[in-house]
Amino acid sequence: MARKSWLDDKGESTLIDGYAQQSSDFIQAMADGTIDDSEVEQQEAKLVALMKKIEPNLSDEQHAEITELLCEMSAFNVMQMLNVIHKSRPAATSTWVP
């Protein structure tokens, strides 16, 4: 299987979100436009299974680096989602003064 780059050609932006959005599991979960509790649980189970498969094969150094990568990716995803939510809210037209 060919290796998929994690970064764009300039090395400035991640491509991982795009890969995730192309996965059949993601497409199927998003088909109805909502993500329910069972879909979140299924995705977590898939993630845990991959972690159990990969983690024992890592050296201590690789484990530390990938743990940092996963934490940064998780923080990025949450920040990106909150940014989109914030931008989608209507702007206040006036300031409330008591």
pLDDT computed for residue 66 by the predictor: 96
Q: Which residues, at least 6 apart from 66, have a Cβ–Cβ distance to it below 8 Å? A: 58
Residues 52, 67, single domain; the answer is no
Q: Is residue 95 part of a domain?
A: no
Residue 82: domain span: 59-88
9-23 pLDDT, tens digit each: 999 999 999 999 999
Flag residues of the chain having pLDDT under 50: none
Q: Which residues, at least 6 apart from 77, have a Cβ–Cβ distance to it below 8 Å? A: 17
Q: What is the DSSP letter of 25?
A: H
Residues 71, 36, single domain; the answer is no
CB 12 within 8 A of CB 5: no
pLDDT computed for residue 2 by the predictor: 86
Give this prediction's pTM. 0.77
Q: Is residue 97 part of a domain?
A: no
Residue that is written with structure tokens 């979960």 in the block:
29
Residues 49, 67, single domain; the answer is no
